[in-house]
């Protein structure tokens, strides 16, 4: 079972990131245009002018942050932000969504229409100064994650209820070959959202609308699920001193006033101890 880790409710909690050097959890409220954190110094919050959704850690004091129009380097102490590169800045209907650093120091970031317009989004990768579109025609980009052996990258289109995997070049991490379906949840009614791997190669997938994070083995077989106290579980992250804690963001969006009145915990960040260990998030190399 899960318990509440942070009780500040988000309209659309997303992008949890455990900073291994700071021992601090960061996450976003996309619709609230804020970055939030909780660590040894207590809770903190930063406000943005744009919808902002995902981050990777560069060093102890800087994050790479994805907004609806760009990637930014953000100083955690001063709050100063420096633009790194554009992200669909010429397309006003899209915004950033799910993202994660890869084992080579690159950063994968998905986009989507602000109203989930069909196939308006894409999966991008920023690597050593280059921003390259990897996969177009994505409606709701999610589940960006990387197998512990660094052989495969994963991503989802929540609207299609599919998680794909693609082989990665071992030298620089670019996709090679065709994508293949890893999970097709269309027959189950489950909606794949954010995902992260544990150290044993099991994919932990938040399933939007299902109040859970489900574990799928390397063969795609369902293993078990951790129940989350929010209906819209959006993204998991492993953290804690030994990476044995599973953090899960949730959302309040699209829930009725009656549900929110009786279930005010929707939108909070939850934590659980699933009995497995994750791995430190990869560092972004600029």
Active site residues: 193
CA distance 101 to 263: 34
* Chain-centre distance for alpha carbon 37: 15
SS3 226: strand
DSSP string, 84-123: EEESSTT-TTEEEEEEEE-TTS-EEEEEEETT--TT-EEE
What tokens were used for 175?
Answer: 């996709």
Nearest alpha-carbon partner for 39 in 277, 280, 265, 241: 241
What tokens were used for 229?
Answer: 């106290």
Contact 237, 206 (CB under 8 A): no
């Amino acid at each position: 079972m899960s318990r509440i880790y942070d009780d500040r409710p988000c309209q659309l909690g997303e992008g949890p990131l455990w900073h291994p050097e700071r021992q601090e959890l960061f996450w976003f409220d996309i619709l609230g245009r804020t970055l939030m954190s909780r660590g040894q110094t207590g809770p903190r919050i930063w406000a943005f002018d744009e919808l902002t959704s995902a981050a990777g850690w560069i060093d102890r004091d800087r994050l790479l942050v994805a907004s609806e129009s760009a990637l930014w380097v953000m100083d955690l102490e001063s709050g100063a932000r420096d633009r790194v590169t554009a992200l669909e800045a010429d397309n006003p209907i899209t915004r950033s969504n799910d993202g994660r650093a890869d084992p080579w120091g690159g950063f994968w970031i998905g986009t989507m229409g602000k109203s989930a317009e069909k196939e308006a989004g894409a999966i991008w990768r920023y690597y050593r100064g280059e921003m390259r579109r990897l996969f177009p025609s994505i409606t709701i980009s999610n589940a960006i994650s990387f197998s512990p052996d660094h052989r495969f990258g994963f991503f989802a289109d929540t609207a299609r209820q599919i998680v794909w995997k693609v082989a990665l070049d071992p030298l620089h991490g670019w996709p090679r070959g065709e994508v293949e379906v890893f999970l097709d949840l269309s027959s189950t009614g489950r909606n794949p959202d954010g995902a992260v791997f544990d150290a044993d190669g099991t994919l932990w997938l938040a399933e939007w609308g299902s109040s859970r994070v489900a574990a799928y083995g390397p063969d795609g077989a369902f293993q078990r699920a951790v129940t989350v106290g929010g209906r819209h579980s959006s993204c998991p992250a492993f953290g804690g001193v030994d990476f044995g804690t599973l953090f899960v963001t949730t959302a309040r969006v699209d829930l009725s006033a009656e549900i929110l009145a009786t279930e005010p915990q929707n939108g909070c960040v939850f934590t659980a101890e699933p009995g497995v260990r994750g791995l430190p998030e990869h560092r972004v190399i600029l």
